[in-house]
C-alpha cells in the first residue's frame, strides 16, 4: 500500500497563513504526475510551526482532495504522547490511510520510553503506523531491537529511516523480515537503500520532480539489466537536485525550487528563513540540469 515515491508535502503559505488554494493544486499536481503516496504535515510540511487547527486542516485537505487516488500517511508525531494520540485519532477519523510518527524530539526518551510512546498511540488508534527515525533532528535513535518489539503490535508496519546508515536496512531486514516496510528519508541514498531491501522513499525532492522520482523508484525495484540502467541514469539526474534541496535547512530550498517552477511561494515560517542568494544560484543550476526549468 505504501511504497515507491511518496512526497513529504510542503505546506504553502501566503502572508504567513495557510494557502489552501495552492495546497490543493499541489495535491493534484502529484496525483497527475506519478507520485505514489502523500505525506502531509511532516517536517517538510513545517509541522513544528503549524497551529493545531492548521495541522488538522492540512491533513483533512489532503485526504479530501486525494479522494482515494493516492494513499495518505499523515504526519501526526509529537514529543507529547497525548498530542500524538490526538492527531493520530483525528487522521483516522477523517480517513487517512495511516500515520507517520516521528520519534519524540527534545525529551530524549530511553528505548523503553520510545516503546511505550508508540505503544500508547498504537493502543488508541486503528490505522497503520510508520515510525519516523531521524536522530539528526530528534537526537534519539530507535534501535532495531526496539523496532522489532513495536512490530509485534497491531498497527506498526514500517519505518521511514533517516539515519543515513545503510547498514540499518540490512539489520532491520534480517531482524524484522521482508513484510516490514522500509522507506528512506534520505533522497540521496535511495538507490543503495532499495538495493539492500528498501521499498521506496518519503521524499523531499518529489515535491518538484514527481515524475523523475516515481520513475526512479519504479525501475529501482525491477531486477533486470534494462531497469538497472534506467535507475542509474535517473539517479545521476536526481543527485544534484537531492543535494540542492538540503543546501540549507529543509524545506527552505525546496520551497524556493517550487517557486521557480510556479508551484507555490517560498514563504517559510520563523525560525526558518528563505535561502540565501548563493543557495538560490545552486538550486537554479540543479533545476536546469534536470530540465525542470
Whether 132 is catalytic:
yes
Beta bridge partners of 201: 5, 184
Burial class (CB in 10 A: 0-12, 13-18, 19+), 7: buried
Q: HSE (CB half, 13 Å, CA atoms) of 219?
A: 17
Number of residues that make up the chain: 293
Whether 256 is catalytic:
no
Q: Which of 57, 115, 118, 160 is catalytic?
A: 160
Output the nine-digit C-alpha cell for 62: 489532503
Q: Which of 118, 132, 151, 256 is catalytic?
A: 132
CB contact set of 237 (below 8 Å; sequence gap of 6+): 212, 289, 290
Q: Which whole-number Å values give the CA distances from 3 to 62, 157, 159, 173, in the listed order?
A: 18, 12, 11, 16
Residues noted as catalytic: 132, 160
Amino acid at each position: 500500500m505504501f511504497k515507491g515515491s511518496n512526497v513529504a508535502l510542503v505546506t504553502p503559505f501566503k502572508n504567513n497563513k495557510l494557502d489552501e488554494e495552492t495546497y490543493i493544486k499541489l495535491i493534484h499536481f502529484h496525483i497527475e504526475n506519478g507520485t505514489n503516496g502523500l505525506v502531509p504535515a511532516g517536517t517538510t510540511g513545517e509541522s513544528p510551526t503549524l497551529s493545531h487547527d492548521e495541522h488538522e486542516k492540512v491533513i483533512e485537505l489532503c485526504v479530501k482532495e486525494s479522494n482515494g487516488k493516492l494513499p495518505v500517511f499523515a504526519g501526526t508525531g509529537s514529543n507529547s504522547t497525548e498530542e500524538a494520540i490526538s492527531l493520530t485519532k483525528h487522521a483516522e477519523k477523517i480517513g487517512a490511510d495511516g500515520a507517520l510518527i516521528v520519534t519524540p524530539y527534545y525529551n530524549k526518551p530511553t528505548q523503553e520510553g520510545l516503546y511505550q510512546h508508540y505503544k500508547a498511540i498504537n493502543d488508541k488508534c486503528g490505522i497503520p503506523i510508520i515510525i519516523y527515525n531521524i536522530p539528526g533532528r530528534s537526537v534519539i535513535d530507535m534501535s532495531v531491537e526496539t523496532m522489532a518489539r513495536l512490530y509485534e503490535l497491531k498497527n506498526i508496519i514500517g519505518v521511514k529511516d533517516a539515519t543515513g546508515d545503510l547498514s540499518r536496512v540490512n539489520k532491520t531486514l534480517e531482524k524484522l523480515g521482508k513484510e516490514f516496510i522500509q522507506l528512506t528519508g534520505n533522497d540521496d541514498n535511495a538507490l543503495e537503500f532499495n538495493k539492500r531491501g528498501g521499498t521506496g522513499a518519503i521524499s523531499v525532492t518529489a515535491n518538484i520532480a514527481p515524475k523523475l522520482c516515481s520513475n526512479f523508484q519504479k525501475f529501482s525495484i525491477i531486477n533486470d539489466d534494462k531497469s538497472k540502467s534506467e535507475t542509474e541514469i535517473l539517479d545521476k539526474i536526481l543527485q544534484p537536485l537531492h543535494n540542492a534541496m538540503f543546501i540549507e535547512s529543509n524545506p527552505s530550498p525546496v520551497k524556493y525550487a517550487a517557486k521557480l517552477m510556479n508551484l507555490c511561494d517560498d514563504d517559510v515560517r520563523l525560525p526558518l528563513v528563505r535561502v540565501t542568494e548563493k543557495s538560490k544560484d545552486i538550486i537554479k543550476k540543479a533545476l536546469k540540469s534536470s530540465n525542470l526549468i
